[in-house]
Amino acid sequence: MEKHYQFAYDYFDSIDDLTPEENALIQRARQRAHHAYVPYSNFGVAAVGLLENGMIVESTNQENASYPVGICAERVLLSTISSVHPDIRLLKMAISYYNPGGKDQAPIAPCGMCRQALQEQQLRFGQPVLLLLSGQEGSVIRVKDSMDLLPFHFSATDLRG
Out of 18, 57, 72, 78, the only residue in the binding site for ligand THU (CB under 6 A) is 72
Q: 125 vs 19, 25, 67, 119, CA distance in Å?
A: 25, 22, 32, 10
**Under rule CB under 6 A, residue 132 binds ligand THU:** no
Residue 34 CB contacts under 8 Å (≥ 6 apart), including other chains:
44, 98
**Under rule CB under 6 A, residue 98 binds ligand THU:** no
**Under rule CB under 6 A, residue 38 binds ligand THU:** yes
Out of 27, 31, 41, 116, the only residue in the binding site for ligand THU (CB under 6 A) is 41
Taking 3-state DSSP, the helix, strand and coil percentages for the chain, each rounded to the nearest 5, stand at 35, 25, 40
Identify whether 22 is a catalytic site residue: no
**Under rule CB under 6 A, residue 111 binds ligand THU:** yes
Distance CA 55, CA 16 (A): 22
**Under rule CB under 6 A, residue 150 binds ligand THU:** no
Helices H / strands E in the chain, number of each: 4, 6
Among 21, 74, 120, 137, the active-site one is 74
State the number of binding residues for ligand THU (CB under 6 A): 13
- Active-site amino acid positions: 74
Give the residues lining the site for ligand THU (CB under 6 A).
38, 41, 43, 45, 61, 63, 70, 72-74, 110-111, 114
